[in-house]
Structure 1
Amino acid sequence: MPESRSRKSAKNRSDAARGERSAQLGYDAEAEAEPLPTWYKAIMFGLMIVGLLWICLYYISQGALPVQPLGGWNIVVGFGIAIIGFLMTTRWR
């Protein structure tokens, strides 16, 4: 459905105001919209999977693997690795 002239002009004014505000803050919306490189996504998903596998291996081996001297701390290590991967998702576009 075609837009009326008043809707078009109001839309243009809001876009202009948003652009001025971005310029005042030193924020470049076009630079922000660049996609992430492939290696970033591979590392992000890899860390989440490695963390999950670390925890699964600990439970399956009944504490003998992956690092026996850590004991129950293996769960913390596994969750830590996975959380790093999940934190990386905040930059994913």
Structure 2
Amino acid sequence: MPESRSRKKPAYIPPPKAAGPVVNPTWLVPVMLTLMIVGLAWIVVTYMMQSQYPIPGIGQWNLAIGFVLILAGFSLTTRWH
């Protein structure tokens, strides 16, 4: 019985390694933590002042502002190495 032809695959060449370790920008961690803490404080003040402060007149939208600040802080954590 005849033998089938073997396929010649090229040898695996691993991708080149990065030149050095990836470094965080110096502003990243302080801004990330500040946004999360300010968002938490915003929500706490909103609950303690029964939705009258930090911005009077917008009611429960103060909660939305606090959550947006916290989400902005968490979105910066995706850039943290």
Superposed pair shares fold, TM > 0.5: yes
Q: 1:65 aligns with which of 44, 48, 53?
A: 53
Structure 1: state its 5+ residue gaps.
1-12, 20-27
C-alpha distance 30-90 of structure 1, shift in aligned 2 (>3 A): farther
TM-score using structure 1 length:
0.66
Structure 2 residue 15 is the aligned partner of structure 1 residue 18: yes
Q: Displaced runs of 4+ in structure 1, greater than 6 A?
A: none
Q: Corresponding residue for 2:41? A: 53
Structure 2: state its 5+ residue gaps.
1-10
Q: CA deviation at 1:40?
A: 1.5
Higher helix share: 1
Structure with greater contact order relative to length (CA < 8 Å, sep ≥ 6): 2
C-alpha distance 18-81 of structure 1, shift in aligned 2 (>3 A): same
For each residue in 1:14-53, what CA deviation from the matched residue of structure 2 results, as whole angstroms up to 9, or x when unmatched?
7x5132xxxxxxxx7336x322133211001000000010
Q: Corresponding residue for 1:3? A: none
Alpha-carbon distance in structure 2 between the residues aligned to 1:17 and 1:50:
45
Q: Pick the structure with greater CA Rg.
A: 2
Structure 2 residue 81 is the aligned partner of structure 1 residue 84: no
Q: What amino acid does structure 1 have at the position aligned with 2:47? A: Y
TM-score using structure 2 length:
0.75
Q: What amino acid does structure 1 have at the position aligned with 2:14? A: A
Q: Corresponding residue for 1:30? A: 19
